[in-house]
């Protein structure tokens, strides 16, 4: 049986009806990883013994009649989440030897829901990148173009490659400026970045604290609803998590769309958007119209400031968050140093890759005396203007719709020498992080055989609304069913 | 040239919360190194701070006690620098929006009251400790202290001498202990001070260049360090040099300060609001709630002691210098009655204080408790023993020989007040000193004291002095 072609919902049904056991499933996916991951490099760490033990435990739970929808379903965690007793590298040489002594809240919650962790997925170093090329553990290949050397997007590149390649039924990701949605779009997956504060950040290694948010990477919106159900919730260990009730996400999937208003920001259609992606977006708009939804043009006049604002705020916070990696207590420590200053300089110089160093320098600069007001403070003010743009739009519409990226996946090495071109990958996704809003990318078709996505942005804590929109779209289209050749 | 000294103090007060300011680890002092540091204190990847609400309440208490403004919204900021005992590479502190601002504290120096401004007080976490001895070429790091809650109290540059600085610190020290927000243990670093010192020509209204002397952990060191720094700065300027803005360290062995780092080497701390923590909102009703838990403060207590116990300002000031001492005194008076309040005060400030001092004990560890001391005071008040005998009784009590009554009984110290008994003794004294009697009657009045002394000697000090006086006068002048 080709378990890897089933959705999470399908696996849950099969497990529930006793068609197969978690152990069978788990062994199946471990075999697939063994077979295919040398081509994809989607995992940094695979944990077979632990996975099989968890699978057996899940089967026993099910036998005892205590199973939930995720009990026994295999999955992978992005290597940014701390996992007790398991290597947690964050894609960096700096943490190349770091075994976390505790589980992230999201990891703990998913474990409590019964999932079986297969391993930890590759990622851009400290989640800084849009192509998974900054990983210390080597780039990840996009299953949609292994031979062509296509990037899977980033920073959750390993998670999307594992799911798109059928090496995990679903995976966790994190999204600071688009790191779930952009790679999901480039690999024909559904990726959801929840509202800031919806999922706990405790144990999720910080990149930019005010922007980071964990979310599910799945094939379908229904799967995203099932997984988010287990990930979401208030955590007293994260002061920025928000204590609002978690609704039943799956229950909201089937609501009819008639009368729903979708806002299309005219700024999203400006130059830079490639024709194929634009056509895919327009086709999606047509589907929604047929469902009785209304497409309304809205204006987000400060949208063009998203990328520059982001590249002040995120590096500033990163430069601070990464100060703890000093070679003193854990992680990489330079050998043979003769002074404290040399220990810092060499440990950090050796432990961090170039992109991370670049962002630390930018962040240090914008926070330094004399520049703080002009950069960091100004960026925070602009951030508020961008959030205000959304608030205004949401007075008229129920959700925002637009492209996820400017175009489909590019080739490895194509943009590595041009950081600004790389940064523009996130031009459509960053605004939702700056405003803290939930946003989702869903498969919208192929352009020259390569997937592109459409993005839905909802009101704060209205994950239900965008999951409903995506699920309805997926029940009328089969873009999300398309699989990369050979996987 | 005549110089004026300008001093501002930054005091770090360790709050006596059960757990750390941003984690659940315990704060108790003296544990094995690194046994009271959890994942958050160690700055492990992925951990997040959660603010301890008790620390906020304690800071608000302090703010209310110094009549300061409590910020309706205050913000935690990250202060960045690299040091091995600072696990995250930044300290969580407050920068632009501290929790407490614009307070005052009155101090008394040479009988004059002076008001010292308190610019601000902010919450922050302490760093760990670096240990440079016993690790060969390396250093040891103990992170037990990392994350301990501190309030940093910054004074205005209103202080003009080392004596004023010490008076300010003692007042602050007493206050935080009254408020029960700090144990005040200076040796363990619970209350420590950085002194900013500059000098300027008398009459000048601009400030001179200041130096900051760090981590002074006793009143005596503060006084010495400031006086040394004043002399040093005067020397530098009077010999044609310039004071350099720098951080200095006080050497407790030599009593001198030396340069640690100059302004050029100073860190750019790159403060910015900590995105892991929400702004702290303190409402009027929070403040009302905290105010209702405030104890009577030292100044109010002193005024009440003057009023209620008819004590002098001085006595009241001494007795209210710590909350424990004031409580002890009031317990004594509870037994003796207000009518004996002054006598009780004399004993608390006199023999009791001397015995405590001699053994370096706190009032809480006194070998004579309030009830026992009150028992002694009552025997003086009811003329059972004289004040002089009472001193001996107190010594016995301190040595653990029992309560006042038992000791008086056992040692037969009961005062002789019976006129018949005393009369017989006095008759014998007079009879055995005929020469002196003659001289006295011949006009040498001073010899009266001689007869008193002989009477006391004969009774081993147990004679009631007032009764001896009265009876002797009758007999000698008869």
Instruction: Residue A237: list chain B partners with CB under 8 A.
Output: 48, 50
**Cβ neighbours of A323 in B, within 8 Å:** 80, 82, 88-90
Is A324 touching B (CB cutoff 8 A)? Answer: yes
**Chain A neighbors of B89, CB-CB under 8 A:** 320, 322-324, 326
pLDDT at B273: 97
Q: What 8-state DSSP symbol labels residue A245?
A: P
Residues B82 and B191 in one domain: yes
> Looking at residue A204, what is its pLDDT?
98
B79 plus B202 within the same structural domain? yes
Residue A124 near residue A154 (C-beta atoms within 8 A) = yes
CATH number of the CATH domain containing A406 = 3.90.1300.10
Query: Which of A99, A237, A340, A433 to substitute to test the interface with B, most B CBs within 10 Å?
Result: A237
In contact, B448 and B472? CB cutoff 8 Å: yes
Q: Which of B45, B141, B275 sits opposite A210 (nearest CB)?
A: B275
- How many domains does one find in chain B? 3
| Domain identity same for B333 and B439 | no
Of B46, B50, B80, the CB nearest to A323: B80
Domain ends where: B354, B386, B411? Answer: B411
Predicted pLDDT of residue B445: 85
Average pLDDT over residues B117-145: 93
Give the angle subtended at the CA of B178 by the CAs of B173 and B180, to the nearest 5°: 95
The pLDDT score that the predictor gives to residue A357 is: 98
Instruction: Confirm whether A378 is domain-assigned.
Output: no
Q: In the prediction, which pLDDT does A434 show?
A: 98
Residue A297: per-residue pLDDT = 96
Catalytic amino acids of A?
78, 155, 179
**Mind listing the pLDDT tens digit for each residue in B43-94?**
999 999 999 999 999 999 999 999 999 999 999 999 999 999 999 999 999 9
CA atoms of A459 and B63, how far apart (whole Å): 40
At A421 the pLDDT is: 81
Beta bridge partners of A487: none
What are the angstrom distances between the C-alpha of B106 and each of A276, A349, B120, B154?
Answer: 76, 53, 16, 15
User: Do B247 and B353 lie in a common domain?
Assistant: no
- Burial environment of residue A346 by CB neighbours within 10 A (0 to 12, 13 to 18, 19 or more): middle
Nearest CB neighbour to A320, from listed B45, B78, B278: B78
Mean pLDDT on B301-328: 94
Indicate the residue among B357, B380, B411 that finishes a domain.
Answer: B411
Residue B342 is given by DSSP the state H
B49 and B95 share one domain: yes
For residue B462, pLDDT over 90 is answered with no
From A201, A323, A368, residue closest to B90, measured CB to CB: A323
pLDDT over 80 at B473, yes or no: yes
> What number of CA atoms fall less than 13 Å from residue A317's CA on the CB side?
23
**Structural domain contains residue A336:** no
What CATH number has the domain bearing residue B433? 1.10.10.410
My answer on whether B452 and B376 are in the same domain is no
User: Mutate which of B46, B83, B269 to disrupt the A interface (most A C-beta within 10 Å)?
Assistant: B46
Spell out which residues of chain B touch residue A316, defining contact as CB-CB under 8 Å.
272
Based on the fold, state whether residues B380 and B464 are members of the same structural domain: no
Give the count of beta carbons closer than 10 Å to the beta carbon of residue A215: 30
Q: Which residues in chain A (375-434) have CB-CB distances under 8 A to chain B?
A: 376
Residue B213 sits in the same domain as residue B317: no
- Residues A278, A404: contact at Cβ < 8 Å? no
B-facing residues of A in 165-194 (CB < 8 A) are none
What tokens appear for B271 in the block? 């403060």
Other beta carbons less than 10 A from residue A253's beta carbon: 22
pLDDT at B264 over 70: no
Q: What are phi and psi of A484, to 5 degrees?
A: -65, 140
Domain boundary at B390, B411, B432, which?
B411
Please list the ranges in chain A whose pLDDT falls under 70: none
pLDDT, one tens digit per residue, over B215-227 is: 899 999 999 999 9
A326 touches chain B (CB under 8 A): yes
> Between chains, do A329 and B275 touch, taking CB under 8 Å as contact?
no
How many domains does chain A fold into? 1
Q: Which helix (H) or strand (E) holds B462?
A: none
Burial class (CB in 10 A: 0-12, 13-18, 19+), B109: middle
Chain A CB contacts of B48 under 8 Å are 201-202, 237-240
Report CB contact under 8 Å: B82, A210.
no
For residue A208, which residues of chain B lie inside 8 Å, CB to CB?
Answer: 275
- Judge whether A372 is closer than 8 Å to chain B, CB to CB: yes
**Interchain CB contacts (distance < 8 Å): A and B:** 95
Using a CB-CB cut-off of 8 Å, the residues of chain B touching A239 are 48-51, 276-278
Q: Is the CB of residue A338 less than 8 Å away from at least one CB of chain B?
A: no
Q: Which residues of A are less than 8 Å from B278 in CB distance?
A: 239-240
Report pLDDT for A450.
98
How is B48-108 classified by DSSP, letter by letter?
-----HHHHHHHHHHHHHTTPEEPSEE-EEEEE---TT-TTSEEEEE-SS-SEEEEEEEEE
Pairing of strands A294-298, A261-265: parallel
Strand order in the sheet with B246-251: B69-70, B100-109, B112-125, B149-155, B3-14, B191-201, B211-216, B246-251, B256-262
Domain range spanning residue B461? 419-476
Predicted pLDDT at B1: 81
Q: Which of A474, A450, A444 is nearest to A283 (CA)?
A: A444
Residue B420, pLDDT above cutoff 90 = no
Which residues fall within 8 angstroms of residue A468, CB to CB, at 6 or more apart?
A252, A253, A254, A255, A257
| A249 part of contact set with chain B, CB < 8 Å | no
Residue B365 — very low, low, confident or very high, per pLDDT cuts 50/70/90?
very high
Per residue in B395-415, pLDDT tens?
Answer: 999 999 999 999 998 888 888
Q: Does A238 touch chain B (CB under 8 A)?
A: yes
**Are A81 and B272 inside 8 Å of each other by CB?**
no
Alpha-carbon distance B296 to nearest alpha carbon in chain A (angstroms): 35
pLDDT above 70 for B265:
no
Nearest to B48 among A210, A238, A369 (CB): A238
CB contact under 8 A, A100 and B44: yes
Q: Quick check: helix, strand or coil at residue A411?
A: strand
Chain B residues at the A interface, defined by Cβ less than 8 Å, are 39, 42-51, 78, 80, 82, 84, 87-90, 141, 268, 270-272, 275-278
User: Which residues, 6+ apart, have CB-to-CB distance to B416 below 8 Å?
Assistant: B422, B425, B459, B462, B463, B464, B467
Question: Is A240's Cβ below 8 Å from some Cβ in B?
Answer: yes
Which sign, positive or negative, has the C-alpha torsion B207, B212, B217, B223? negative
**Closest of B118, B140, B120, B115 to residue B129, by C-alpha:** B140
Closest CA to A100 of A77, A119, A83, A79: A83
Say if A140 falls within a structural domain: yes
Q: How many angstroms separate the CA of residue B58 from the nearest CA in chain A?
A: 20
Measured CA to CA, the distance from residue A182 to residue A407 in angstroms comes to 10
Where do the H-state alpha helices sit in B260-297?
284-291
Predicted confidence at residue B28, as pLDDT, reads 86
pLDDT tens digits, one per residue of B423-451: 888 888 898 888 888 888 888 888 888 98
DSSP letter at B352?
I
**Chain A residues whose beta carbon lies within 8 Å of the beta carbon of residue B39:** 101-102
pLDDT of residue B182: 97
pLDDT of residue B263: 63
Q: E strands along A47-165, which residues?
A: 74-78, 116-121
Provide the residue range defining the domain that includes A134: 3-259+398-481
């Amino acid at each position: 049986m080709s378990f890897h072609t089933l959705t999470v919902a399908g696996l849950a049904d099969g497990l529930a009806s006793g068609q197969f056991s978690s152990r069978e499933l788990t062994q199946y996916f471990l075999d697939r990883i063994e077979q295919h991951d040398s081509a994809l490099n989607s995992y940094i760490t695979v944990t077979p013994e632990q996975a099989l033990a968890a699978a057996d435990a899940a089967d026993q739970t099910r036998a005892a009649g205590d199973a939930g929808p995720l009990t026994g379903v295999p999955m992978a965690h992005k290597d940014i989440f701390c996992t007790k007793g398991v290597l947690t590298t964050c894609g960096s040489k700096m943490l190349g030897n770091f075994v976390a002594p505790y589980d992230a809240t999201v990891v703990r919650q998913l474990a409590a829901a019964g999932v079986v962790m297969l391993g930890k997925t590759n990622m851009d170093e400290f989640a800084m990148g849009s192509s998974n090329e900054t990983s210390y553990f080597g780039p990840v290949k996009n299953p949609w173009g292994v031979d062509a050397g296509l990037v899977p997007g980033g920073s959750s590149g390993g998670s999307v490659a594992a799911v798109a390649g059928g090496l995990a039924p679903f995976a966790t990701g994190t999204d600071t400026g688009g790191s779930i949605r952009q790679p999901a779009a480039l690999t024909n997956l559904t990726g959801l970045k929840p509202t800031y504060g919806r999922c706990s950040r405790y144990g999720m290694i910080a990149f930019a604290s005010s922007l980071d948010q964990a979310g599910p990477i799945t094939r379908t919106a229904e799967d995203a609803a099932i997984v988010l159900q287990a990930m979401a919730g208030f955590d007293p260990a994260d002061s920025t998590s928000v204590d609002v009730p978690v609704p039943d996400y799956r229950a909201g999937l089937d609501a009819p769309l008639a009368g729903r208003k979708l806002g299309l920001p005219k700024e999203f259609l400006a130059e830079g958007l490639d024709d194929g992606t634009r056509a895919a977006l327009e086709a999606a708009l047509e589907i929604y119209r047929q469902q009785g939804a209304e497409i309304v043009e809205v204006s987000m006049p400060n949208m063009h400031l998203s990328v520059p604002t982001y590249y002040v705020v995120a590096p500033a916070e990163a430069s601070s968050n990464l100060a703890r990696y000093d070679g003193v207590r854990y992680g990489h420590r330079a050998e043979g140093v003769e002074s404290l200053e040399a220990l810092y300089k060499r440990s950090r110089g050796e432990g961090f890759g170039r992109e991370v160093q670049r962002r630390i320098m930018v962040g240090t600069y914008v926070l330094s005396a004399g520049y703080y007001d002009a950069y960091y403070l100004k960026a925070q003010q602009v951030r508020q203007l961008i959030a205000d743009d959304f608030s205004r739009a949401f007075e008229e519409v129920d959700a925002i719709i637009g492209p996820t990226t400017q175009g489909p996946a590019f080739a490895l090495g194509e943009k590595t020498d041009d950081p600004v071109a790389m940064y523009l990958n996130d031009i459509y996704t960053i605004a939702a992080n700056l405003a803290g809003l939930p946003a989702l990318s869903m498969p919208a078709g192929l352009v020259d055989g390569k997937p592109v996505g459409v993005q839905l942005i909802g009101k704060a804590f209205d994950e239900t609304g965008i999951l409903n929109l995506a699920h309805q779209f997926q029940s009328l289209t089969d873009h999300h069913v398309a699989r990369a050749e050979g996987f | 040239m005549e110089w004026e000294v300008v001093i501002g103090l930054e005091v770090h007060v360790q709050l006596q919360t059960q757990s750390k300011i941003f984690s659940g680890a315990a704060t108790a002092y003296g544990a094995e190194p690194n046994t009271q540091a959890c994942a958050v204190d160690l700055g492990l990847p992925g951990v997040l701070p959660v603010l301890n609400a008790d620390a906020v309440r304690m800071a608000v208490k302090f703010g209310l006690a110094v009549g300061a403004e409590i910020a309706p919204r205050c913000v935690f900021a990250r202060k960045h620098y690299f040091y091995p005992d600072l696990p995250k590479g930044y300290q969580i502190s407050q920068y632009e929006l501290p929790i407490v601002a614009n307070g005052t504290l009155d101090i008394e120096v040479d009988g004059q009251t002076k008001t010292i401004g308190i610019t601000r007080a902010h919450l922050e976490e302490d760093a760990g400790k670096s240990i440079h001895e016993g690790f060969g070429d390396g250093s040891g790091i103990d992170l037990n202290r990392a994350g301990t809650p501190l309030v940093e109290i910054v004074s205005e540059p209103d202080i003009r001498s080392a004596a004023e600085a010490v008076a300010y610190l003692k007042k602050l020290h007493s206050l935080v202990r009254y408020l029960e927000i700090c144990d005040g243990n200076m040796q363990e670093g619970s209350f420590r001070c950085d002194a900013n010192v500059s000098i300027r020509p008398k009459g000048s209204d601009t400030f001179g260049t200041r130096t900051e002397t760090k981590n002074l952990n006793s009143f005596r060191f503060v006084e010495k360090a400031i006086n040394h720094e004043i002399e040093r700065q005067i020397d530098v300027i009077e010999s044609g040099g310039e004071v350099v803005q720098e951080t200095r360290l006080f050497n407790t062995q030599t009593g001198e300060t030396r340069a640690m780092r100059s302004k050029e080497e100073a860190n750019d701390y790159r403060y910015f609001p900590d995105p892991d923590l929400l702004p702290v909102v303190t409402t009027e009703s929070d403040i009302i709630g905290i105010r209702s838990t405030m104890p009577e403060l030292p100044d109010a207590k002193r005024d009440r002691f003057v009023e209620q116990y008819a004590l002098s300002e001085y006595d009241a000031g001494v007795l209210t210098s710590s909350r424990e001492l004031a409580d002890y005194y009031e317990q004594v008076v509870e037994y003796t009655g207000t009518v004996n309040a002054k006598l009780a005060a004399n004993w608390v400030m006199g023999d009791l204080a001397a015995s405590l001092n001699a053994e370096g004990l706190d009032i809480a560890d006194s070998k004579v408790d309030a009830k026992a001391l009150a028992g002694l005071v009552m025997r003086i008040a009811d003329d059972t023993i004289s004040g002089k005998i009472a001193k001996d009784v107190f010594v016995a009590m301190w040595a653990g020989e029992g309560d006042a009554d038992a000791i008086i009984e056992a040692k037969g110290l009961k005062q002789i007040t019976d006129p018949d008994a005393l009369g017989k003794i006095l008759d014998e004294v007079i009879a055995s000193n005929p020469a002196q009697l003659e001289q006295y009657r011949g006009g040498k009045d001073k010899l009266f004291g001689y007869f008193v002394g002989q009477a006391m000697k004969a009774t081993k000090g147990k004679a009631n002095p007032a009764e001896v006086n009265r009876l002797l006068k009758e007999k000698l002048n008869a």
